[in-house]
Amino acid sequence: MNLTEMKPPFIRGETSVASMMRDMLFALTLLLALPVVRYGPRPAVAAALTVLVCVLCELLFTLMQTKTTGLSDGSAAVTGMVVALLLPVNAPLWLPCAAGAFAIAAAKAPFGSTGRNPFNPAAAGLAFAAVCWPQLVFSYAATGSGPLPLFGDCAVQTAPSPAAVLKQGLPPNILPFEMLWGNFAGPAGATAVLVVAACGLYLFCKRVAQWEITACFLLVVIVIAALFPRAVFDPLSSVKYELLSGSVLFCSVFMVTDPVTSPHTTAARCVYGLLSGALVMAFRWFGAYEQGAVFAVLLSNAAAPVLDDLVFRFRGWGGELADA
Amino acid sequence: MRRGLKKKIRIIFLNSAFFRNPVPVAALSIYPVIAAGYSLQNAVELSLLFLFLSVPVGFLFCLIGEMIPLWVRPAAVLAASAVFYLPAARLLESMIPGAVAALGMFGPLMICNSLILSRANVYAPSHIGWAVAADTLGCAVGFALVICLTGAVRGLWLSGSVRAAEGGVSLPFFGLIFVGFLAAFLQWVNRRRTLRTGKRGGRP
Amino acid sequence: MQRGIKLEQHKAESLLHPVQELPDAAGLPPPKFFRAPKGRPDWEAVLRAAEEAEITDEFEDVPLAEKLRRMRRAGVSLALACCVDEDPYTTSAMAALREQTDGVIAGLALAARACGAKKSEIAVADRREKKEILRRSPEAKLVVAGTRYPARALLRRSLQAEGGKAAFVGAQACAALAAAVSRGEAQHDAIVTVAGSGVEIPRNVRVRIGTPLRHLLDFCGVHERTRLIVTGSSVTGRAVTDPSVPVTAATRCVIAMLRPPRYKTYACIGCGRCSRACPRGIVPWRIYQEMERSRPDPLKLLNARSCIDCASCSMICPSGLDLAAAVKRAAAIMESGDLH
Amino acid sequence: MRTLAQLILTALAAVSVENILFSCGIGFSRVLRAARRPRTIGLYSLFVAFFSLVSMTVGSLLNPVLLSGEALAWLRPALLALCAAAAYGAAAAALKFGLPEFYRKHGEILSPAAMNTVVLSMPYVQKTFQLPLARAMAFALGTGGAFFLAATLLAHIVPRFKNEDMPKAFSGFPAVLIYLGILSLAFAGFTGGRLF
């Protein structure tokens, strides 16, 4: 009986980073179902390609890293899925791949993968795509355009999304109730509002995401939408339109709650949720693009370490900074 | 002494131009590279302007740098750089007509280029003429290398779209990321060099 | 706010069978007897009896006499008999309480008298166990500790929240104290749970203190292909490499595993679970971050010294990091106070 | 009251929407220098705000004069730089002889804070945005605030860029540059293109 030497503890809790990423991937693939039903297998192909490119980029960088933390934590796949779901269905296939490559190669790998990236890679990739190819990222296929060609470019009649209409200050011509079912022009995964809400609940129950960030985030978005409606209608419908249009709900469930790039203490998380909610509305009011959520996520990620240190200094635990 | 000096000058030049290029390694004069370097045309004009501006300022402060007290020296350097900007702009205009106008705000802001200011404040007064000359030329070449590379890459990327200088890759964010990757490449090269010299008994 | 960790319990099988007796191994000295104190001993007599009987508290591996003196100095107002086994495999304390309920109650009263505690109660794991014990002896005063790990620390914190100081005394130590005072018998055996994937039938065994571990393993029929044997506790115990080490009063359990568990480690993702799981309010991820730097700054190591080594932070960490070791190193640095 | 609200709005815009630091990439070498010594950030930003204010007022007073004549327009960059140099000289002299103790402790950061691209770009910003004098000064103070924000963000994140998980080539300064690039990308969401 040869016995091995081992350090305690000898049993572990059942959630590991890999299981958290598997839950995220499960929730994201659920979101793919609706666009595949409505537009044919093209979104699934785009998502698969993006995940492949992200994984390849991550592999490329693990060769350069000395301590290879390995690929098995699946966070590259999650980034690829999020990028593919926030781009329009009729986008050319190279667009999500370019955004995914930027997300991994510029926003994640140089800082040390998974636990060390200061920014949410998917948000950085989407912001890069939005700034470089705005006309491609914000042209959404009209709802009734049926199955799209699998690989080639799809010349499809595009319709302005409710977020674009709201940006010009006009009330969108679709009732909020119909928007619930998600058949309006918008990003691939972010229009299915009910499915996003269901995935959110699933992630909160499995403790993969922290609910307090999403709660504060949506609270601020609702308050600002009610106080400052962007088009001439009553506060209630303004709140409904702001929440249902664009990718606010999707971001509040998948991007803002990323544990790596959000603060680590509960108090700082609430402030972080409030800050990112306010920034989303600021980008919607003053921003140049109709989708402000990804930029708001990036800005609040930059503020996350500061919030953590403030909480520690406030609790008298030595949050001061030593000279570098 | 002659051969030793020549070798030392070669090392200073190479360090400033490539291995310890001040732009990616010390982030000096980042603004022209990331904001103005969105086309090769801009890049060439700015590198020439940098050359015509840094050489006279470097020499001036190599000669009289010691005499000016430390607390007023930064003001003197900026004043000298401002004065020397006029002939430099005129020289650039004669070489490439319409260049100064095309540069717009980027030209005048070269006056307070942190690379020129810091070299003139710290390096020039305390080194001999040859070293200052080698270092100034090295910095000019290094700056030109970085800004032309960035300008070429962005020019290539934007060659398709019609509003070249408007948005997309010509924005400073791409410049910063590109210079970041350049700095990583340089750090990798330097690390390999120190490893190799370390293994070969320390002879460079 | 910290409610501890919910663990999957494996206790049911080993509680089914009564405690088995292990025949004494060869070459062990006979059990020692000494002159028992007469009548109703006061607290010095109880302490002297505990010293003479060489009773050790099985949870903290400390002589019972010294522990009671420390409790008396600290002015403990509530003495608790700890019949709660925190880690999922061990049931030795519960078995000891079920076997010698009166012995534990008498021992607890003696221990309370020795350390000057006004109240004394028995801490049990859950309501079902409480009903079981009340069925055996109705007048026992019981308190439910809950099954979330680390149960003892959480119970002590909730009791101290209501004022007064609480301290734990091991169930087997109480039983041994009762035997020592009534019959003048030294502590010579301990109840050990043998469980894990390497054992056919998990069970509790009463073992003479000092018998080599191999003798116990052969008696319980542990598989030859077992790769990992752990004594103490499956969370804070020690891995045993040579099976000839003797069984002590503090062994409490022997866990044999066919395949040693291997956990992949990732970088810290900042989920904050460890700071929520820690019963002492330490922030392990911040200490781990600080200890990663080449020269950790003692000012930033917060309250690392108040750690009670329950390892719940390492257990709950999804990235599989050894946070408990980092906090222990941090406490050592703060202890030595080398302010570089 | 209305003008006060307008001033505050302009200052806020200078920190967020029209953040010339991030969306135009001006003045990063000074931000990095400040971030390396976190205790000096407050004073550093105060100096930058003060000198931006001086440069903005000089710029908005001189702009109409300098842009009138052809020869004067050609001399404009040099004259503005000379004003900045004079402002620094005056401030340094005042501090050196007025408060020698303060100068010995903090004099070192006075010159980089006084003469950097952010300060000297003020007159050009004023010419592009055509701000009246009061709102121009609010914009200068807002830029000082933006400098403080940028330096604080960096000071908190820079220590995390030296760890063993990242590729050796990127550890330390290249990671800071890429971080600034992505942060500038985030601010580009406000302007969507070149600010000026």
Domain map of chain A by residue range? 18-314
Q: What is the pTM of this model?
A: 0.90
Q: How far does B65 lie from chain A, in Å, by closest CA?
A: 31
Q: Is the pLDDT of residue A324 over 60?
A: no
Q: Which of B114, D181, A57 is nearest to D173 (CA)?
A: D181
Q: Is the pLDDT of residue D66 over 80?
A: no
How far, in Å, CA of A260 to CA of A277, rounded?
Answer: 18
| Closest CB from D36, D166, D188 relative to A116 | D166
Q: Is the pLDDT of residue B77 over 60?
A: yes
SS3 assignment, position D65: helix
Q: Which residues fall within 8 angstroms of residue B198, CB to CB, at 6 or more apart?
A: none
Best residue of A61, A128, A295 to probe chain B, by most B CBs closer than 10 Å: A128
User: In the A/B pair of chains, how many CB contacts fall below 8 A?
Assistant: 13
Q: Would you state the structure tokens that stand for residue A111, as one six-digit string?
A: 């800082």
- State whether residue A4 sits within 8 Å of chain C by CB: yes
Looking at the DSSP bridge assignments, the partners of residue C80 are: C121, C168
> Taking all residues of chain D, what is their mean pLDDT, rounded to a whole number?
86
Task: Tell if the CB–CB gap between B167 and D192 is shorter than 8 Å.
Answer: yes
Task: Tell if the CB–CB gap between D155 and A119 is shorter than 8 Å.
Answer: no
Task: Tell if the CB–CB gap between B74 and D111 is shorter than 8 Å.
Answer: yes
Q: Is the pLDDT of residue A316 over 80?
A: no
- State whether residue C295 sits within 8 Å of chain D by CB: no
- State whether residue C16 sits within 8 Å of chain D by CB: no
pLDDT band, very low/low/confident/very high, at C18 (cuts 50, 70, 90): confident
pLDDT in tens, B4-41: 888 888 888 888 888 888 889 888 888 889 888 888 88
Query: How much is the pLDDT for B182?
Result: 94
Contacting B residues, span 148-167, partner chain D, CB-CB under 8 Å: 165-167
Q: Would you state the structure tokens that stand for residue B87, as one six-digit string?
A: 């002939």
Task: Tell if the CB–CB gap between D165 and C293 is shorter than 8 Å.
Answer: no
Q: Which residues fall within 8 angstroms of residue C249, CB to CB, at 6 or more apart?
A: C55, C56, C58, C61, C172, C173, C187, C190, C209
Q: Would you state the structure tokens that stand for residue D109, as one six-digit string?
A: 């950061």
Q: Is the pLDDT of residue C299 over 80?
A: no
SS3 assignment, position C179: helix
How many CA atoms lie within 13 Å of B118's alpha carbon, on the beta-carbon side?
16
- Highest mean pLDDT of the ranges A266-280, B59-73, C170-184: A266-280
- Cβ burial, residue A115 (10 Å; 0-12/13-18/19+): buried
Task: For residue D121, list chain B residues with Cβ-Cβ distance below 8 A.
Answer: 105, 109
Q: How far, CA to CA in Å, does C214 sit from each of A103, C20, C190, C191, C218?
A: 56, 17, 16, 16, 6
CB C241 within 8 A of CB A87: no
Task: Tell if the CB–CB gap between A124 and D185 is shorter than 8 Å.
Answer: yes
Q: Would you state the structure tokens that stand for residue A120, as one six-digit string?
A: 């949410």
Residues of B at the A interface, defined by Cβ within 8 angstroms: 167-169, 171, 173, 177, 180-181, 184
Query: How much is the pLDDT for B152?
Result: 92
Q: Strands C238-240 and C166-170: what pairing?
A: unpaired
**Maximum distance among all alpha carbons in chain C?**
63
| Closest CB from A6, A114, A263 relative to C266 | A114
Q: Which of A139-153, A301-315, B83-97, C195-209 has the lowest mean pLDDT?
A: A139-153
Q: How far does C316 lie from chain A, in Å, by closest CA?
A: 5
Best residue of B157, B166, B177 to probe chain A, by most A CBs closer than 10 Å: B177
Task: Tell if the CB–CB gap between A5 and C241 is shorter than 8 Å.
Answer: yes
Q: Strands C253-257 and C228-231: what pairing?
A: antiparallel
SS3 assignment, position B68: coil
- Cβ burial, residue A87 (10 Å; 0-12/13-18/19+): buried
Q: Is the pLDDT of residue A308 over 70?
A: yes
Task: For residue D165, list chain C residues with Cβ-Cβ distance below 8 A.
Answer: 267
Task: For residue A292, list chain D residues with Cβ-Cβ distance below 8 A.
Answer: 189
Q: Which residues fall within 8 angstroms of residue D135, CB to CB, at 6 or more apart?
A: D6, D7, D10
Residues, chain C, total?
Answer: 340
Task: For residue B166, list chain A residues with Cβ-Cβ distance below 8 A.
Answer: none
pLDDT band, very low/low/confident/very high, at D196 (cuts 50, 70, 90): low
How far, in Å, CA of C247 to CA of A53, rounded?
Answer: 57
Task: For residue A210, list chain C residues with Cβ-Cβ distance below 8 A.
Answer: 271-272
Q: Which helix (H) or strand (E) holds B9?
A: helix B2-14
Q: Is the pLDDT of residue A202 over 70?
A: yes
SS3 assignment, position D13: helix
Please tell me what DSSP assigns to residue B202.
T
Neighbours of chain C (3+ CB pairs under 8 A): A, D
Please tell me what DSSP assigns to residue C125.
S
| Closest CB from B28, B109, B179 relative to D120 | B109
SS3 assignment, position C222: strand
How far, in Å, CA of A277 to CA of A300, rounded?
Answer: 9
Q: Is the pLDDT of residue D150 over 80?
A: yes
How far, in Å, CA of B40 to CA of B47, rounded?
Answer: 10
Q: Which has the higher per-residue pLDDT, D23 or A82?
A: A82
How far, in Å, CA of D128 to CA of D142, rounded?
Answer: 17
Query: How much is the pLDDT for C336?
Result: 80
Q: Which helix (H) or strand (E) holds C240?
A: strand C238-240
Phi–psi pair at C221, nearest 5 degrees = 70, 50
Give strand ranges (E) for C41-159: 56-57, 62-63, 78-82, 119-124, 142-144
Task: Tell if the CB–CB gap between C267 and D165 is shorter than 8 Å.
Answer: yes
Report the chain C residue with the minimal C-alpha distance to residue A263.
Answer: C270
Which domains are seen in chain C, by residue range? 12-183 (3.40.50), 189-257 (3.10.20.600), 273-336 (no CATH)
> Taking all residues of chain B, what is their mean pLDDT, rounded to a whole number?
87
User: Which 3-state string (H, E, C) describes chain A?
Assistant: CCCCCCCCCCCCCCCCHHHHHHHHHHHHHHHHHHHHHHHCCHHHHHHHHHHHHHHHHHHHHHHHCCCCCCCCCCHHHHHHHHHHHHCCCCCCCHHHHHHHHHHHHHHHHHHCCHHHCCCCHHHHHHHHHHHHCHHHHCCEECCCCCCCCCCCCCCCCEECCHHHHHHCCCCCCCCHHHHCCCCCCCCCCCCCHHHHHHHHHHHHHCCCCCHHHHHHHHHHHHHHHHHCCCCCCCHHHHHHHHHHCCCHHHHHHHHCCCCCCCCCCHHHHHHHHHHHHHHHHHHHHHCCCCCCHHHHHHHHHHHHHHHHHHHHHHCCCCCCCCCC
Q: Which residues fall within 8 angstroms of residue C254, CB to CB, at 6 or more apart?
A: C192, C193, C194, C195, C196, C213, C216, C217, C220, C229, C230, C231
Whether chains A and C touch (3+ CB pairs under 8 A) is answered by: yes
Q: Is the pLDDT of residue B2 over 80?
A: no
Phi–psi pair at D164, nearest 5 degrees = -85, -5
How far, in Å, CA of C307 to CA of C153, rounded?
Answer: 11
Best residue of A131, A294, A298 to probe chain B, by most B CBs closer than 10 Å: A131
Q: Which has the higher per-residue pLDDT, B56 or C262?
A: B56
Query: How much is the pLDDT for A318?
Result: 58
Report the chain A residue with the minimal C-alpha distance to residue B173.
Answer: A128
The stretches of B110-128 forming alpha helices (DSSP H) are 114-118
| Closest CB from A110, A131, A134 relative to B171 | A131
Q: Which residues fall within 8 angstroms of residue C277, CB to CB, at 6 or more apart?
A: C2, C4, C5, C312, C313, C315, C316
> Taking all residues of chain A, what is their mean pLDDT, rounded to a whole number?
87
pLDDT in tens, C55-113: 888 888 889 889 989 988 988 888 888 888 888 888 888 888 888 888 899 999 988 98
SS3 assignment, position D84: helix
Query: How much is the pLDDT for A9?
Result: 85
CATH of A18-314, one of 1.20.120, 1.10.238, 1.10.3430, 3.90.550: 1.10.3430
Q: How far does A148 lie from chain C, in Å, by closest CA?
A: 39
Phi–psi pair at C138, nearest 5 degrees = -60, -30
pLDDT band, very low/low/confident/very high, at D69 (cuts 50, 70, 90): confident
Task: Tell if the CB–CB gap between A16 and C264 is shorter than 8 Å.
Answer: yes
Task: Tell if the CB–CB gap between D35 and A324 is shorter than 8 Å.
Answer: yes
Query: How much is the pLDDT for D109?
Result: 84
Displacement of CA A301 from its chain's centroid (Å): 12
Task: Tell if the CB–CB gap between B167 and A131 is shorter than 8 Å.
Answer: yes
- State whether residue B91 sits within 8 Å of chain D by CB: no
Sign of CA dihedral A118, A120, A125, A131: negative
Task: Tell if the CB–CB gap between A132 and B169 is shorter than 8 Å.
Answer: yes
CB B26 within 8 A of CB B143: no
pLDDT in tens, C288-297: 988 888 788 7
- State whether residue B81 sits within 8 Å of chain D by CB: yes
pLDDT in tens, B103-132: 888 888 889 888 999 888 888 888 888 889
pLDDT in tens, C140-153: 888 888 888 888 88
| Closest CB from D181, D190, D193 relative to A286 | D190
Query: How much is the pLDDT for B138?
Result: 92
SS3 assignment, position D36: helix
Sign of CA dihedral C149, C155, C156, C158: positive
Query: How much is the pLDDT for C145?
Result: 87
Query: How much is the pLDDT for C23?
Result: 82
- State whether residue B131 sits within 8 Å of chain D by CB: no
Looking at the DSSP bridge assignments, the partners of residue B68 are: none
Task: Tell if the CB–CB gap between D169 and B187 is shorter than 8 Å.
Answer: yes
DSSP string, C45-70: HHHHHHHHTT-EETTTTEEHHHHHHH
Task: For residue C10, list chain A residues with Cβ-Cβ distance below 8 A.
Answer: none
How far, in Å, CA of A225 to CA of A239, rounded?
Answer: 5
Looking at the DSSP bridge assignments, the partners of residue C168 are: C80
Residue type, D161: F
CA angle C249, C253, C258 (to 5 degrees): 145
Task: Tell if the CB–CB gap between D192 and A288 is shorter than 8 Å.
Answer: yes
Q: How far does A131 lie from chain B, in Å, by closest CA?
A: 5
Q: Would you state the structure tokens that stand for residue C229, as one six-digit string?
A: 């044997």
How far, in Å, CA of C224 to CA of D61, rounded?
Answer: 92
How far, in Å, CA of C173 to CA of C82, rounded?
Answer: 10
CB C228 within 8 A of CB A2: no
- State whether residue A168 sits within 8 Å of chain C by CB: no
SS3 assignment, position C192: strand
How far, in Å, CA of C100 to CA of D51, rounded?
Answer: 83
Give me the mean pLDDT over the C226-246 stretch. 88
Task: For residue A131, list chain B residues with Cβ-Cβ distance below 8 A.
Answer: 167-168, 171, 173
Task: For residue C325, list chain A residues with Cβ-Cβ distance below 8 A.
Answer: 7
Give me the mean pLDDT over the A296-305 stretch. 94
Q: How far does A181 lie from chain D, in Å, by closest CA?
A: 29
Phi–psi pair at C230, nearest 5 degrees = -120, 135
Residue type, C119: K
pLDDT band, very low/low/confident/very high, at A213 (cuts 50, 70, 90): very high
ipTM: 0.89
Task: Tell if the CB–CB gap between C292 and D159 is shorter than 8 Å.
Answer: no
CA angle D154, D53, D30 (to 5 degrees): 25
Whether omega for the bond prior to residue C279 falls within 30 degrees of 0, making it cis, is no
Report the chain A residue with the minimal C-alpha distance to residue D157.
Answer: A305
pLDDT in tens, D118-130: 888 888 888 888 8
Query: How much is the pLDDT for B202?
Result: 52
